[in-house]
Amino acid sequence: MIWLMAMAFIASGVGGVLGMASGIFLVPLLTIAAGQPIHAAIGLSLISVICCSCASAPLYLKAGLTNIRLAVVLETATTAGAVAGVLCSGLLPTRVLYLLFAMVLLLSALQMAGKRTIAPTMARARGRLASTLDGSYRDEAGRQQSYQIARLPLGLSMMFGAGLLSALLGIGSGVLKIPAMDKALRLPIKVSSATSNFMIGVTAAAGATGYFLSGMIDLARAGPICLGSVAGSVAGAAALRAVHPGRLRGFFVLVLLLLAAAMLAIAFGGAPTLLASS
């Protein structure tokens, strides 16, 4: 119980500092360190993702950074993807899941190593729907900044993929959401982080409900995971004010690469787990 709580705390805390969901760290921790089967780890990780999203959502909403009108439109695609992901998860061999996870870890490491940039909004006709979802937020200097939503259909299709990946692997799917928000929808980074945080909770809930009803969530282990995740996300948010995430990125790129190597090792022949099943 203590181990599960500690793992969820570490994964959520690190995720909070780096602006990522906890799942990308928690699934490898649960499979490699705690010896959980990958389907059980994915179910528990989805619960952790929901807890982190719920715990941090009020902060972003009160700061006026979350665009819930845009989120609810994008959620139609992410939840549809999540339902498809839950249905596919039972059909894919575990080896494929490990391989997919390793690929996501590698891509996340690449994303983290690179600089995040927003493509400039092109001056061209936008759909009426996209213009109703435009918004504004206050920057650090207290100035009101307006932004426009671009290429909504492309964003929606990428969000379907993000939802599918989220339910399939128990992650927040930043690997697809970041390009969708930055390059397709062209949202400011703060708005995209806050809106994505709101969305991952709903997407993970769609996935977790499916896993729960299929009997793939170990409810006895879910309690400690929830507590660790809520505490971790609060600690991560506090640490974010004290630590500059840029300084930590190099270290966590290395951690992601090591986790990817471990997941690949399991996919191609199995690797010993560090702890007995807790």
Partner 1 sequence: MTEAEDRAIDGIVARIFALGTRVATTAIVAGISCQVMLHAYRLGLDLSLIGVGLFILLPVIVVLTMSALYLRRGRSFLAAMSIGVLLIVCLGSLLSMVAAR
Interacting residues with partner 1 (CB under 8 A): 1, 47, 50-51, 53-55, 57-58, 61-62, 64, 66, 68-69, 72-73, 75-76, 79-80, 82-83, 86-87, 90, 129, 132, 136, 201-202, 204-206, 208-215, 219-220, 222-224, 226-227, 230
Supply the minimum distance, in Å, between the C-beta of residue 134 and partner 1: 11
If the CB atoms of residues 51 and 256 are measured against partner 1, the closer one turns out to be: 51
Between 185 and 206, name the residue whose CB sits nearer to partner 1: 206
How far from the centroid of its chain's Cα atoms is residue 190's Cα?
A: 15
35-53 core/surface letters (b: 16 or more CB in 10 A; e: else): ebebbbbbbbbbbbbbbbb
Least Å distance, CB 130 to partner 1, is: 12
Nearest CB to partner 1, comparing residues 112 and 164:
164
CB of 194 to partner 1, least distance (A): 11
Least distance between partner 1 and beta carbon 135 (Å): 8
Q: How far is the CB of 113 from partner 1 (least distance, A)?
A: 31
- Could you give the 3-state DSSP secondary structure of residue 142? coil
**Buried-exposed string 62-87: b where 16+ CB fall within 10 A, e elsewhere:** eeebbbeebbebbbebbbbbbbbbbe
Structure tokens at 161: 């993929």
**What region does 124 belong to: left with phi over 0, alpha with psi -120 to 50, or beta?**
beta
Shortest Å distance, C-beta 205 to partner 1: 4
Long-range contacts of 251-254 (CB under 8 A, 24+ apart): 252/14, 252/18, 252/112, 253/109, 253/112, 253/113
Q: Which is nearer to partner 1, 56 or 108 (CB)?
A: 56
The Cα–Cα gap between 201 and 270 comes to 32
By beta-carbon proximity to partner 1, the closer residue of 154 and 213 is: 213
177: three-class secondary structure by DSSP = helix
Smallest separation, CB 13 to partner 1 (Å): 16
Farthest CA pair distance, the chain: 59
| Identity of the residue, 4 or 105, whose beta carbon is nearer to partner 1 in the bound complex | 4
- Which of residues 72 and 254 has its CB atom nearest to partner 1 in the complex? 72
